[in-house]
Structure 1
Amino acid sequence: MPLLGTAETLIGLALVTGLLLRPASTLFFGHMAGGFTALALLPGQMWHHGVPTLEGQYILKDLVLVAACLAVAADELSG
């Protein structure tokens, strides 16, 4: 858990400062891939009668973060 928290902090700092965006994006998408895997591997903990549980909602909110990071990455690549 401390490693994941550190990774999230470094990703956030990179996005806010604009420094090291490419490595941060790689770290971010790897982190998100691992998070979204839980939706498939732990369905009993993530879903209840087709509705996401609190844990599932926490992971699904990461879709907003993915969209934001894609916007930052697109801006970085076009600039």
Structure 2
Amino acid sequence: MTNPQNPAADSIGRIAALEERIAHQDRTIEELSDQLTEQWKVVEQMRAKLDKLTERFLMLEENSLEAPAITRPPHY
């Protein structure tokens, strides 16, 4: 691909190819960053729901541990 007759044109072509590659990489990085931000929001929402469910479960478990007093049935 090198052009021994015009090294300046060859350098310009290589620089243009590098600039194009960098532009594609910048776009990809931006897209990945946006996706990561969205996924982090989902993780935070799920964490909040898990905390609420854990608290609710512990309350239910606490209430279920309180067993009624053992008494004799009326037919004894």
Scaled by the length of structure 2, what TM-score is found?
Answer: 0.34
Q: Tell me which structure has the larger Cα radius of gyration.
A: 2
Structure with greater strand percent: 1
Instruction: Return the TM-score normalized by structure 1.
Output: 0.33
